[in-house]
Structure 1
Amino acid sequence: MTKQTLALALLLASTLHAQQPKPLTSYIDPYIGVDWGGNTFIGSAIPFGMVKLGPDMETFDHRPSGFGYSSTGSILGFSHTHLSGAQGKYGNILVMPTTGDVTPLAIASPREKETAQPGYYAATLTRYNIRAELSSTRRTGIHRYTFPASQNAHLTLDLEHCLSRGNSQGWEDQHFVGGEVHVTNLHEITGIGRYSGGWNRGGEYRVYFVLQTDAPVTTARTWTGNGSNPWKDSIPDTSTIRITNDHNATVNAETPIGAILDFKTSAQQQVHVRVGISFVSIDQARNNLREEMPTYDLDAARRNVVAQWQKQLDTIHLSGATEKQRRMIYTAIYHTMMMPVDRTGENPLWQSTEPYYDDYYAVWDTFRSSAPFLTLVAPDRERDLVRSLLNIYQHDGYMPDARSGNVTGRTQGGSNTDVMVADAYVKHLPGIDWNTALQAMIKNAEVTPADLQKEGRGGIDDYNKLGYVTNRDERSGSRTVEYSNDDYSIAEVACGLGKDDIAKKYLARSHNFENLWDKNLEEGADVNPRAKRSVPGFKGFTRPKNPDGTWAAPNKDVRGSWWSFFYEGDEWTYSLYAPHDMRRIVELSGGPEEFARRLDYTFTHGHYDVSNEPGFLLPMLYAWSSHPDHTADVLRLTLEKWFSDTRSGIPGNDDSGAMSSWLIFNTLGFYPVAGQGIYILGTPAIPESTIAVGNGKTLHIVAKNAGEDGLNRYIQSATLNGKPLNNTWFRHADIANGGELILTMGSSPSATWGKATPPPSMSDPGFKLCN
């Protein structure tokens, strides 16, 4: 081959390579959201995978991370169970490689050369000069440790370790309540850890494991504490630890326990560890290893994880997006599909042929955008999630709001599984027992739960008798308005099933949000010093009510807690929460123009909390006031100010992908009204996108004239499936079988588009519940 021919061939190969599109998984940046409260998972996991294998860390001042990762500080070890977007649970079965003398509970190491990618985590433990690499399958983890030359190398197992470990009987502490470790041979350790507590205040859950290694082990030891809790402060008292040559160890609550495998290594010697996890039994953990990790091939496991994520990312394709936008969108899909967790076949509580999912953490967060997103792009997955909720209802008595570690606990607001079920129903997901679903919804609405914070509806006795939750119950304001929307969801399903009496009953109850509306309560009067004039306030807000029907003092909390009138929101947000009847809210607020002025004030005076779920729908409410341009302004500012492709790129807890799914919808240009089969148009930030909506069908969205600078943010006209779309909204049925949405964008608000017919409301003339 001549030099000219070789040069031409190289040039052609280079050109062809440049033309090859990057795999979508290359845009996933797991570090987005790890800082400033995003709590996103770092490590390896398949979509909805049971095992989430990643590092558990402490900060520079020895404070353990509540969700596992920390951008600063040291690695405590690598555990196999984590949440994503939340904290206060798991961190079980901790493995750590070391060299030199080993002192359990004091083996943390700084790290360098860290990298995280889909299905892969790696870092160098500088204290030991060991390179650690991780990957996983659905129910197993695989570790690869590259050691230096050492006459004193070890693998350590810490069974007691868990995130948010409690030093006392704290409200949200996790606790180790006992466990067993068995060295079955020099290359295998088995056992069980028992844990309780955490954010959901759950009862005991058990994690069974089988750990196998190809290390040249010469000695196996176990270690335990002396029966007292060594975690009196952030730095443990290691003098409580006793290391023995016993191959079996058993302890009770809060007592450290683990194992150490000793061996010698040559320079750059690789040692592999594979760990099978089960919530059922050691035999099941061993079977999981046999089925999913029969060899020590970490690279094969990594390729498998990447392939599974690529399949999920293929549901959305972007054209004209920036590299930053691609990183944000594909990472957001990744985060949205971390949880809930598919534990089908791993339910220790009952046998069933139905799907079983855990870590609904929590439906209060995810019903608004994550569930509608999965319904759109992964309908089979959302179907199984709903079926799992119904199966939990049949065996535990209620559908959960928050469930983790196989235990239901902590209902934050309404019984919002009702909305999740209704969303699946109105979008016609197949394969769901709707009669059982209606039974579960009615039980939420009618039966007083034994534990008012755990399941069902707290304050339901007053709500059903008086039409509102009184101030003798916590969160009575947010509960009342959410219960009203939940009741509407029940009415929808009942109507569709031909149960008219039930539908009428709950449709009437869905007006109950009005019972806490004080039409005379005025807020927001202001003086504009520049204009030297007064700005009138706004009349009508949701207000606490006493059991005798009299008004209590207005609630001024900026962001309520468990014991407040409003939960994680304020009166400006919750007073406007009636997604099923926004027309009535507009009327109560003084009409469309006054409602728009009120929304403007909410956004400009710090009452819009983008970091929390109660405000998710607020930017879209302008659709009921004929001001879609204000929606565009708020959304574009919110996206540009609060979301990015950095470690602090999510403005609050991602909450199982709730924040991430909000980002996806509003970047693409539309947002769901959960439970109603309605989408509201916003402002697309990407010129063109294609969304797979199931059964081989796609929705193609084109934003003509959209530019990277964001100036052409206002919709001038629209067509849907070739027909003019003059409204700011459309139905799921319009796109369920695919379609094309073409938006013509401009730099100034349209004088006419989107101002004809607002989205549907229960108070509309001629309203029909069943469509």
Structure 2
Amino acid sequence: MRANAAAALMSVACLSGPGANAAQPAASDAPLLPASHDTREPISSVDPFLGVDAGGKVFLGATVPFGMVKLGPDVESIDGVPAGGGYASTGLVDGFSHLHLSGGSGKYGNILVAPVTGPLDPQDIKSARSSEDSSPGYYRTQLTRYATLAELTATRRVGFHRYTFARSGDAHLTINVAHLLNHGNGDESQQFVGGKVTVLSDHEVTGVGRYKGGWNEGGEYRVYFYAVADTPAAQSHTWSGSTLSSSQSASIERDAPLGASLDYTTAVGQVIQLKVGLSFVSEDQARRNVMTETPGWSFDTVHDAAVAAWNEALSPLRISGATESQRRQFYTAMYHAMLVPSDRTGENPLWKSKEPYYDDYYAIWDTFRSAGPLLTLIAPDRERDSIRSLIDIYRHEGYMPDARSGNTTGRTQGGSNADVMVADAYVKGMTGIDYPTAFAAMQKDAEVPPANARMEGRGGLTDYNSKGYVTNADERSGSRTVEYAYDDYAIAELACGLGRDAAARRYAAHAGNWANLWDTSLSVGGMTGFIRPRNVDGSWAAPDLKVRGTWPDFQYEGDIWTYSLYAPQDVRGLIRISGGKQAFIHRLDTLFDRKHFDMTNEPGFLLPMLYIWAGRPDKTADRIVDQLEKPFNDSRAGLPGNDDSGAMSAWLIFQMLGFYPNAGQDVYLIGTPSFPEAEIDMPSGKVFRIVTRNLDSGHLNRYIQSATLNGKPLDQAWFRHAQIADGGTLELTLGSTPTAWGTRVPPPSLSDPVSPLCAAASPHP
């Protein structure tokens, strides 16, 4: 976070009616004025409701960029089934909890606050809602059962509630410590395992909840809280189990209800405010977080600081000539990409460190492909600190995580993809990272079999290192093999940079292991040559033709059409093993035309760009336009699948800008832009501009006719990070028919005559 927004968040104090600032549907879809004439703040184009339905599972509520507290409604359907991620457009509101993920589910929903009027029954406080609205840093709704307006805003570690009671009579502010999402006894369910709550005074409640489980099958984590109201209560209650008591404290050591209430007799229109500070360390620290981050009672001031923080976070990207729909999609995608990981610096209960501490990497398997490279460009300090946190987790726990949430690492879905995240930062010149220690962590990933391969490290590693592939004695042997090969390429890159010649040779050789599962005789759907499971003795096992595999299958969340083409380090090699350029183009056409491309999931994110290596950037343009026009829109169902911590949103941002990263390398692949002009404030402080000529509203002019980069002709459909690091201009001229532009020089590949790696790692010395 930049200095002035951080300062604003640290000096907040009170509010009056931010609903007017909430994002509203536009009345017109006409193009905007150029950015130089558009004085609107980027936050005005963010619609937090975009993607909440149809599986997007994005967070809805109040938070700041990368905030620890994500305060929003938890909703259940009429038949009592809770939404796994917290929010749903229809259903009853249980209350407002302070911890959520975004683009995923199965975790959190902790410390639930709900206003109640009339008699209090802690087991029956849900309400219908109306007049719901949200904008970055703000949420409001009318709880119709209680005729109460609920408004929420937040700082990094504090949730700020404002409740306006329309009726006089009994009213209560309830705090449910036992509440959580995805509650149950399944493998991916959460359990409440105990806690305590104490009413300190007529306006203060403190306590702790203990929880475990969730999608990552995590161990116990504790959430401490300190809640303080601006209005003294007439009385208070606590409950443990089903018993409502006048006792000032309650505790429980099992999965059963636990909570407290502050009880009032309200007048018509009375406003009561509540601040809830969270900590993963102690109740005292939760209280300090309230005093430090929200010292006064001005809801408006807290909200204004959140708005300032979001405007600053969204400011590094500017677009002009966009329709209102495009603008909403673009800035909302930026907003989604900055919700996680969660900045918990100073809130690490496990060890003391001067390093940043981040949690809710959920999961790097999703985000390394798109969200990580995006943050490297537009939020480099966040990406740097996130990587420093990964390295510090390795120092204290032995491995960098893939998925980590609730201060627990797990589960590892594919490769050790934090390796790619580190390499991406290194090859793009990011400083402030302890790369030698990162290299040690990456080598451990590649050499030391973990005790629990679903939680950390690489499963099937012994076979992979001795045979060159993971055998079907281990689960996910196909997706793991091809991902490990790319992770090894990332290690080779860093080994080259650190002068570790022997390691560079070893891992560069392992980077070719993706081909060891290729059966050149396997025919599926008219195509020949796919990856295939191999037995421990090296013989072929039966092909796995599942459309979308899962944990015990050959490939994870993808099919063999997708994973057979996963070798981002060596697309030249893919083309060769597929039978040459024309055969490769035909394979890609078949993959897309027969619906094997799955935009709802990350493994295929790079597939539309693979045509570029085969000399057909025009087909890349066709596939991108098709995806931008069909599965993406600006509605509540505007994302094609789970946003997965901003991974889906980051893919959209890059493709709308007109280029896409080959994550872990210093190469960007040129697609087809959606805007006449865009600007990126680079980490260097300079501006990189993308200017597009002849762009039409129907995107018929989608094919690049010619290009210049920094004033010089560019005849290839890719460029390097170093060419834009100090700013510059990429100018693209479009037309309605393909030309020879971009067909002659493919992007780098490991099997190029001159390897993209250092001489020590080159297979062609």
User: Cα offset for 1:19?
Assistant: 7.1
Say what the alpha-carbon RMSD is for the aligned residues.
1.0
CA contact (8 A) 2:162 2:271 kept: yes
Aligned pairs for 1:398-417 (under 5 A) are: 398-417=399-418
**Separation in structure 1 between the aligned mates of residue 166 and residue 417 of structure 2, nearest angstrom:** 54
Aligned mate of 2:206, from 190, 195, 202: 190
SS of alignment partner, residue 162 of structure 1: coil
Letter in 1 for 2:708: T
Partner in structure 2 of residue 506 of structure 1: 507
User: Cα offset for 1:428?
Assistant: 1.0
Letter in 2 for 1:204: E
Partner in structure 1 of residue 703 of structure 2: 714
Partner in structure 2 of residue 324 of structure 1: 325
Partner in structure 2 of residue 207 of structure 1: 223
User: Cα offset for 1:708?
Assistant: 1.3
User: Cα offset for 1:498?
Assistant: 0.7
**Separation in structure 1 between the aligned mates of residue 492 and residue 405 of structure 2, nearest angstrom:** 29
SS of alignment partner, residue 360 of structure 1: coil
Q: Deviations over 1:367-408 (max 9, x none)?
A: 000000011111121111111100000001000000001110
**Separation in structure 1 between the aligned mates of residue 319 and residue 392 of structure 2, nearest angstrom:** 37
**Separation in structure 1 between the aligned mates of residue 152 and residue 754 of structure 2, nearest angstrom:** 59
CA contact (8 A) 2:229 2:275 kept: yes
CA contact (8 A) 1:378 1:693 kept: no
Q: Deviations over 1:333-386 (max 9, x none)?
A: 000000001111000001111111000000000000000001111112111111
Letter in 1 for 2:753: P
Partner in structure 1 of residue 388 of structure 2: 387
**Separation in structure 1 between the aligned mates of residue 457 and residue 553 of structure 2, nearest angstrom:** 19
CA contact (8 A) 2:684 2:725 kept: no
Q: Deviations over 1:120-161 (max 9, x none)?
A: 100000001000000000000110000123321111110000
Q: Deviations over 1:443-469 (max 9, x none)?
A: 000001000100000111110111100
Aligned pairs for 1:425-504 (under 5 A) are: 425-504=426-505
% of aligned pairs identical? 59
User: Cα offset for 1:102?
Assistant: 1.2
**Separation in structure 1 between the aligned mates of residue 593 and residue 301 of structure 2, nearest angstrom:** 52
CA gap of 1:260–1:19, structure 2 versus 1, over 3 A, is: same
Partner in structure 1 of residue 716 of structure 2: 727
Q: Deviations over 1:36-69 (max 9, x none)?
A: 1100011011000000011111012211011111
Aligned mate of 1:671, from 629, 645, 660: 660
**Separation in structure 1 between the aligned mates of residue 662 and residue 571 of structure 2, nearest angstrom:** 11
CA contact (8 A) 1:142 1:296 kept: no
Is structure 2 residue 118 aligned with structure 1 residue 94? no
Letter in 2 for 1:271: I
CA contact (8 A) 2:364 2:417 kept: yes
Partner in structure 2 of residue 758 of structure 1: 746
Partner in structure 2 of residue 236 of structure 1: none
Letter in 2 for 1:249: A
Partner in structure 2 of residue 558 of structure 1: 547
Q: Deviations over 1:2-41 (max 9, x none)?
A: xxxxxxxxxxxxxxxx977222101000001100110001
User: Cα offset for 1:651?
Assistant: 0.5
**Separation in structure 2 between the aligned mates of residue 755 and residue 105 of structure 1, nearest angstrom:** 66
User: Cα offset for 1:216?
Assistant: 3.7
**Separation in structure 1 between the aligned mates of residue 422 and residue 240 of structure 2, nearest angstrom:** 47
Partner in structure 2 of residue 656 of structure 1: 645
SS of alignment partner, residue 576 of structure 2: helix
Give the length in aligned residue pairs.
724
User: Cα offset for 1:438?
Assistant: 0.6
**Separation in structure 2 between the aligned mates of residue 709 and residue 305 of structure 1, nearest angstrom:** 37
**Separation in structure 2 between the aligned mates of residue 644 and residue 222 of structure 1, nearest angstrom:** 46
**Separation in structure 2 between the aligned mates of residue 414 and residue 732 of structure 1, nearest angstrom:** 25
CA contact (8 A) 2:621 2:671 kept: yes
Partner in structure 1 of residue 575 of structure 2: 586
State the TM-score, normalized to the length of structure 1.
0.93
**Separation in structure 1 between the aligned mates of residue 381 and residue 226 of structure 2, nearest angstrom:** 32
CA contact (8 A) 1:687 1:707 kept: no
Partner in structure 2 of residue 377 of structure 1: 378
CA contact (8 A) 1:181 1:250 kept: yes
State the TM-score, normalized to the length of structure 2.
0.94
CA contact (8 A) 2:748 2:756 kept: no
Partner in structure 1 of residue 755 of structure 2: 767
Partner in structure 1 of residue 365 of structure 2: 364
Q: Deviations over 1:543-565 (max 9, x none)?
A: 00000000001110000111110
Is structure 2 residue 132 aligned with structure 1 residue 132? no
SS of alignment partner, residue 267 of structure 1: coil
Is structure 2 residue 121 aligned with structure 1 residue 103? yes
Is structure 2 residue 564 aligned with structure 1 residue 575? yes
Q: Deviations over 1:95-125 (max 9, x none)?
A: 0001111111211000001101111100000
Partner in structure 1 of residue 337 of structure 2: 336
SS of alignment partner, residue 668 of structure 2: strand
**Separation in structure 1 between the aligned mates of residue 660 and residue 429 of structure 2, nearest angstrom:** 19
CA contact (8 A) 2:530 2:561 kept: yes
Partner in structure 1 of residue 22 of structure 2: none
SS of alignment partner, residue 436 of structure 2: helix
CA gap of 1:161–1:495, structure 2 versus 1, over 3 A, is: same
Letter in 2 for 1:185: S
CA contact (8 A) 1:148 1:265 kept: no
Partner in structure 2 of residue 8 of structure 1: none
Aligned pairs for 1:505-524 (under 5 A) are: 505-524=506-525
SS of alignment partner, residue 234 of structure 2: strand
Letter in 2 for 1:569: G
SS of alignment partner, residue 276 of structure 2: strand
Letter in 1 for 2:164: T
Is structure 2 residue 78 aligned with structure 1 residue 60? yes
**Separation in structure 1 between the aligned mates of residue 356 and residue 67 of structure 2, nearest angstrom:** 14
Which is higher, the Rg of structure 1 or of structure 2? 1
- Structure 2: which 5+ residue stretches go unaligned? 1-35, 760-765
Partner in structure 2 of residue 173 of structure 1: 189
Partner in structure 1 of residue 694 of structure 2: 705
Partner in structure 2 of residue 24 of structure 1: 42
